Chain A
Amino acid sequence: MSNVMLVLIVLGLGVIGFVLGRGRAMSAAGGDRRNLHSLPMYYGANVGLNAVVPAMLVLFAWLIVQPMVINSSVSGMIPEAEIAEGSNLSLMMSDVRRVAEGLDLAVGQGAMTEAETRSAGEDLDGLRDNLAGVGVALGSDITDSTFAAAQRYRVLAGTGHLWKTIATITASLIGLAVAYRMTSTTFRARNVVERGILMVLIAAASIAILTTLGIVLSLIFNTVEFFRLYAASDFFFSLSWNPSFSGRGGGSELGILPLLWGTLYISFIALLVAVPIGLFAAIYLSEYASKPVRAFAKPLLELLAGIPTIVYGLFALLTVGPLLVSVFGRDGALGVDWMQGGTAVMTAGLVMGIMLIPFVSSLSDDIINAVPQAMRDGSLGLGATHSETVRQVILPAALPGIVGAILLAASRAIGETMIVVLGAGAAARLSMNPFDAMTTVTAKIVSQLTGDSDFASPEALVAFALGITLFVITLGLNVFALFIVRKYREQYE
């Protein structure tokens, strides 16, 4: 029985519980709902929730614990000596799991019988071919101990599965029965359901938080691993980025500074484009535009935010880059020869700026609109013009919110990848010239992980260190932005 089936059964029991609970409450009240403490629906929901929630918790816990238990019990079967050169226990264990899965699959597809799997230990090469036949290719040869471990794994998994099903359904039935028995006219089902719903909401919230925590922890562990192989001071202070991919290891220079410089330079240019244009557009839309214009222009501007960044990247590569070269390049309109190729900080920055306009304008527009009309009246009533009112009353009042919007746009710019890959090039460089090709942290994370380098090498692990540095920077910006926005909210209360 698959897990999905199991969940469906539990949900089915929940529905049955709902109907039963409601029915019992109604009959206890003699068919008159006024005799009940709560609406009949709440009695039903109480029984339903009791049938579903504890069972789900059991299932969830089981799914987490079972693999751990089986792993630890099976891994003892693999002798130290057999762990091959350049391998380790966890790699061996993954082989064991693959063999076990392969056997399951082979039995499931009818390629082998259960009896054949038991005797397969005598012909390991034949087994390997058999498994390849059902689509499970194995890298290394199957050893005797691997096979034995795989068989044990299958047995344990099978029993575990059976007990999981039994435990889940039992939990569901017990919950249902207990809640059903509690149902009486004086039972305060409404309050219990209220608490139950609170639990469900808390569970949803904790899943979101735990996932984030998991991501951060995995970043941290890998970063620690990286710093064991590569000196942190070199990473943070070295002025050059020059990873070697020869596979021989060593000789790589993995300094973050050129990448950070590229990131900040491109983001700066992007904000230089996005902030004035976005802000002025927001002021026009919220203060001057008539209703029909606003109704038409605002969604249009927000459409810009819906364009995938890869499309902006293409725009940078194919349109903006060549255009800039034709102006600032060697034979360009200005004849200055500042720009060697189409990919440059300027190209990526301009296009990224266009991408960010709707962010700035849409948020600022909302914030400007939130400034009470009484402020405008007060200023206009003193004989100020419209633009004086905007400049001296509305913008200062909305400023914290606008700063928040800009910081959010900035963290968006720092995290942007596609436009950089296509628009700014791949050369890590510390240069002041905005027409030079440069690259950013995000673009390098992609290129470090998409090569075929070993995942345990510093050249690959550096991606995690880069990632966490970026994460800390954008997190800081976001927290700062939220702090400012929140401060602003208090102002009119």
Chain B
Amino acid sequence: MEDMYQMDRTMSTEQDIKIRANGVQVYYADNQAIKDVDVEIQDKMVTAFIGPSGCGKSTFLRCINRMNDTIDICRVEGDIRIDGEDIYDPRVDPVQLRAKVGMVFQKPNPFPKSIYDNVAYGPKIHGLARNKAELDEIVEKALRRGAIWDEVKDRLHAPGTGLSGGQQQRLCIARAVATEPEVLLMDEPCSALDPIATAQVEELIDELRQNYSVVIVTHSMQQAARVSQRTAFFHLGNLVEFGDTDKIFTNPEDPRTESYISGRIG
């Protein structure tokens, strides 16, 4: 009976795995930032990456949409598969991949364009709208999901760079969701937000979970506990522990995880 249950569970996760990483190593020149990491990220779930600053969370996140390709000195080894397809295969087009795997960066980086054009950028490039009315609709929906619509609806044509830091971050979230990615990678999306906007973004993450898989990097344990179903703890480039969020926070296996969560290392 026990065995049956175990098998059933593995089977079901087997099917739902969206991203599977095996033996990933990342080097910046000679400096190894990620050491032999294995992770399975499930579809329609939120996975949180936690860990002290500089442990490689952002680096690993950027491997998933091959943003590390843009850094000359960065070298990625190992195997990362999305829907069973090796994304580092030479036949895979990184541009296509990034359309499918959206990203919100650690630092807000709105384009020096209007708020509207910032959000419409992705849909325009990928031809998601047939006409202006449809595009308007996409932009509005994205801005609403980014919890910023009410603040900017009267100045859609003002420059995005003129917003406050937290507003810029939400604009970037709106920009990322406007292209309807299958996977959304969020690197500390709430680090510059007030509690109200944070709650709204968390609501958005919860909503996105219905259709997509979301990976979120966060320094807030509470946030990880609130929004994620699975949590990965990184330390010095190693994946120390990975499992259900409840378990990681209530009953961690590794002493390092325990001391990080209780605030003793970091």
Contacts and interface: CB of A to CB of B under 8 A. Distances in A.
Interface of A: 291, 372-385, 388, 392-393, 396-397, 491-492
Contacts of A374: 105, 107, 109
Contacts of B65: 381
Interface stretch (B31-39, B78-86, B172-180, B213-221): B172-180
B95 A381 contact: no
Q: Which 9 A-B pairs have the closest CB atoms?
A: A383-B99, A374-B109, A381-B103, A383-B98, A382-B122, A378-B109, A397-B112, A385-B95, A384-B125
Nearest to A290: B72
Nearest to B118: A378
B67 A380 contact: yes
A393 B102 CA distance: 18
Contacts of B126: 383
Contact of B98 (A291, A375, A380, A491): A380
A393 B109 CA distance: 12
Contact of A382 (B107, B112, B113, B176): B176
B111 A491 contact: no
Contacts of B176: 381-382
Contact of B109 (A372, A384, A392, A396): A372
A383 B72 contact: no
A491 B112 contact: yes
20 contacts: A374-B107, A378-B109, A378-B172, A378-B175, A379-B121, A380-B67, A380-B70, A380-B98, A381-B65, A381-B98, A381-B102, A382-B99, A382-B125, A383-B102, A383-B179, A388-B125, A392-B121, A392-B125, A492-B112, A492-B161
B96 interface: yes
Interface in B156-190: 161, 172, 175-176, 179
Interface string B104-117: 01010111110000
Interface string B188-200: 0000000000000
Nearest to A378: B109
A381 B72 contact: no
A292 to B, nearest CB: 12
B175 A383 contact: no
A257 to B, nearest CB: 41
Contacts of B179: 382-383
Contacts of B111: 375, 378-379, 393, 396-397
Given A393-B121, A491-B161, 5 more contacts: A375-B111, A378-B110, A383-B96, A383-B102, A397-B112
Contacts of A382: 98-99, 102, 121-122, 125, 175-176, 179
Nearest to A398: B112
Contacts of B97: 383
A307 B109 CA distance: 42
Given A375-B111, A377-B67, A383 B105 contact: no
Contacts of B113: 393, 396
A361 to B, nearest CB: 22
Nearest to A385: B95
Contact of A396 (B72, B95, B107, B112): B112
A347 to B, nearest CB: 41
B28 to A, nearest CB: 15
A377 B65 CA distance: 11
A377 B94 CA distance: 13
Q: Which of A372, A374, A377, A382 has the largest number of chain B CB atoms within 10 A?
A: A382
Contact of B105 (A378, A388, A397): A378
A393 B121 CA distance: 9
Contact of A377 (B109, B112, B121, B161): B109
Contact of A383 (B95, B112, B161): B95
